[in-house]
Amino acid sequence: MEVVRRNFKDTLPLISDSIEKADFLSIDTEFTGLINGRDVSIFDSPEDYYLRCMNGSCEFLLIQFGLSAFYWDEKEKHYMNDTYNFYLYPRGRPGPDRMFLCQSSSLDFLASNGFNFNKLIKEGISYMTALTETKLRESLTERQQTYGTREKDPVRIPDENKQLIEDICAKVKNFIDNTTEKEMEIDKCNSFIRMLLFQELRIRFKDDVMVDTKILENKSRVLKVIRKTAGMSDQETMRKKREWDELEEAVGFSKVAKMISQSEKLVVGHNMLLDILHTLGNFFQQLPPDYNSFKEFTHCMFPKLLDTKYMSSLPPFKDKLGSSVLTELLSTLAEPPFSIPKVGCVEGRGYSNLKDKQHEAGYDAYITGLCFLAMHAHLARMRGDHSERLVPQSATLKPFLNKLFLAKTARQDSPYINLTGADPTPSRDHVFHLVFPKEWQRNDLNQLFSPFGAITVHFLDETSAYIGLERREQAADVMRALAKNARVTLTPYYKYKSYGSGDAEMALRSDRAKSDTYKLIAKTEMKSRQALTRSNLTSSWTSPQARQPLPQKVSRARSNSTSLTSPPVATRKRTSSGVFQVDESEPLAKKPEISPSPPENPRTSAEAQRTNAEATRTRAEPTNGRKKTDSAETGKKDTVTKKKDSPEQKKDKIEKIDTKKDKVIEKFDSKAKSNCVTAFKESDSWD
């Protein structure tokens, strides 16, 4: 039976009756998507599985809910079904205006199976959480208590609207005096005109009509003028009733979910973890982030749950079923040694045969119930019980109750969430988290681990994966063998999870990135050092006339180093213009010893001699990258200064120079400034 917004209110009593008389209920749901972000991995624990599904699915919308109630027909001695297919679409006003995600593959899948999206949006039944419903009810109650206690001052009608208001009031007067119709509509009015009409019509025709607002199918609003009759409620009473009706409509399907919970009947589903998460999160309250709280909350809302996917994964069905997909499971259970029991229905209330309506929530809920009855009947026959009516508390069903199947981890010894006890905790000592180069493929991973046997790989992204060893005893050998591998980073699974997965992965990637960066910097420094040395050697043999005068070297304190190695390499900085600068962190060149000045000669002769001596020293001693501070200009200044110095002053200068040579520098002066020179540009063989 299809249930949409227009027939939901009338169908609600039938739904309540079906739930009340049922032996068990089966459910199914459809969503706008499955998982947002990284999917569950095959090595996740039940707690990890829940957290991943909770965070990844909560932003998708539940758009269809199937409910099939199976009850026993005592006269016919077989089960009957009442099945309902609900289209669900939460609406704003008075409820919250929902925002949700859509997954293109999920919508395409639903469309290919005949899902009617126009019906969903136009006729879907609204819903909200119990907490939102409580807040809205309290808010509406408080607001209605203020009705009639505050009188608003009349709004002055603007001159440009007076004629329109008078014309409409004249039409209402004519409706009252000359017609027998119960109501009339006033359309083509904006919100301000409607407010003025509310005011004027209530003042002028208070005893004859009531004024209300009507929302049309296209969401436009019109004024509705209702003729008063004997026994009709007053305006305020009708307004309150309308507001409560709107709230009840907004609560919508949440009433059905509450009925299912309060009935405490056995609820059956197939691979139903996401069904339960969406049911709890959309109709009751937000899912808790704490795993144990989730288990308690679920068991409180639905004390008896049974997952046919988990039931079919255990003996005696596991070895006899080729697939546990719902439609294929139904086909297998229809053949010996199994059999599908007879299930009837009242016409128009359920399904009476196996129609092909896959992935319609109501039909899937119905065939889930059929599969459950078939498997229960097979187990009962094995136990010598030939009764076709089931008892939810029977020993036959006890091993399957309150266990939600985990499809992705079932093959790794973690097949279910136990809502009423401890979860299975298989060892993960044989599992590792691996970070590898982006260009690697599955064959590269197989080759890396080939000495240790077969592996199970679950890729997390392009550069990381979980690796599970088939030969678990090789775990220690793997760590010893690959710990120093420069191309991969191997971390035990438990250690990786203890770091918080995502944070640990980012740290591992960061360490690898830093290592690669340091290697690149070292390589670049070596190349730049070689290029700079070649450049300096070339410039040191250039003639004095071709060299440009260099800035005066600034005296700086040097650290007291005892190293006998070559001088430290200058720090190179790249400027916005592409020019590289050399920081003056090199040791200063030795200053020449000052000898007694020669006899005074003519000025031109002294300058010539000084220039020739400098040129000879330059050719004999390569600079190795150091700057030369003396030039022709400096030489002139020194010559003039020496002429003026007395013999006593010369003696003092020589003693100061000797003192500086012997002085030990105790600390480095960080505030000392250094001059930078252009070493070379990008065009000069920079790698």
CATH of the domain at 462: 3.30.70.330
Distance from C-alpha of 15 to C-alpha of 20, rounded to nearest angstrom:
9
| 260 inside domain | yes
* Section 576-593 average pLDDT: 46
| 34 inside domain | yes
- Among 605, 480, 626, 411, residue whose Cα is nearest residue 540: 626
136-150, 165-179, 490-504, 668-682 — which is least confidently predicted? 668-682
Are residues 305 and 390 located together in one domain of the fold?
yes
* pLDDT over 80 (residue 512): no
* Section 633-642 average pLDDT: 45
Q: Which of 249, 269, 290 is the last residue of a domain?
A: 249
Q: Which domain holds residue 218?
A: 152-249
pLDDT tier, 520 (very low <50, low <70, confident <90, very high otherwise): very low
Are residues 114 and 94 located together in one domain of the fold?
yes
Inter-residue contact 92 to 219 (CB < 8 Å): no
Are residues 391 and 288 located together in one domain of the fold?
yes
| 121 inside domain | yes
CATH of the domain at 367: 3.30.420.10
Are residues 258 and 405 located together in one domain of the fold?
yes
1-5, 145-149, 658-662 — which is least confidently predicted? 658-662
CATH of the domain at 186: 3.30.1370.50
* pLDDT over 50 (residue 474): yes
Inter-residue contact 281 to 171 (CB < 8 Å): no
Q: What is the pLDDT of residue 648?
A: 55
Report helix angle 603-620 to 632-644, nearest 10. Answer: 130
How many domains is the chain partitioned into structurally? 4
| 686 inside domain | no
Are residues 399 and 448 located together in one domain of the fold?
no
| 479 inside domain | yes
Averaged pLDDT of the chain: 78
More confident of the two residues 239 and 470: 470
φ and ψ of 355, to 5 deg: -80, 150
* Section 316-332 average pLDDT: 88
- Among 273, 361, 135, residue whose Cα is nearest residue 281: 273
Report the 10 Å Cβ neighbour count for 140.
16
Are residues 549 and 643 located together in one domain of the fold?
yes
Q: What is the pLDDT of residue 151?
A: 65
Are residues 266 and 397 located together in one domain of the fold?
yes
* Section 147-171 average pLDDT: 84
* pLDDT over 70 (residue 454): yes
Are residues 278 and 381 located together in one domain of the fold?
yes
Distance from C-alpha of 141 to C-alpha of 146, rounded to nearest angstrom:
9
Q: Which of 11-25, 90-104, 315-329 has the highest mean pLDDT?
A: 11-25
Q: Which of 378, 397, 418 is the last residue of a domain?
A: 418
Report how far apart, in Å, the C-alpha atoms of 367 and of each of 87, 315, 340, 355 are: 19, 21, 10, 10
Are residues 121 and 224 located together in one domain of the fold?
no
The sign of the dihedral angle between the CA atoms of 344, 345, 346, 348 is negative
Are residues 481 and 567 located together in one domain of the fold?
no
| 513 inside domain | no
Q: Give the angle subtended at the CA of 416 by the CAs of 412 and 419, to the nearest 5°.
A: 150
* pLDDT over 90 (residue 320): no
Distance from C-alpha of 211 to C-alpha of 188, rounded to nearest angstrom:
16
Distance from C-alpha of 176 to C-alpha of 152, rounded to nearest angstrom:
27
* Section 494-518 average pLDDT: 57
* pLDDT over 60 (residue 190): yes
Query: What are the structure tokens assigned to 76, written together?
Result: 């016919």
* pLDDT over 90 (residue 604): no
| 362 inside domain | yes
Are residues 544 and 457 located together in one domain of the fold?
no
Are residues 283 and 411 located together in one domain of the fold?
yes
Q: Which of 225, 249, 273 is the last residue of a domain?
A: 249
pTM over cut 0.75: no
| 521 inside domain | no
* Section 172-179 average pLDDT: 88
- Among 76, 85, 81, 75, residue whose Cα is nearest residue 25: 81
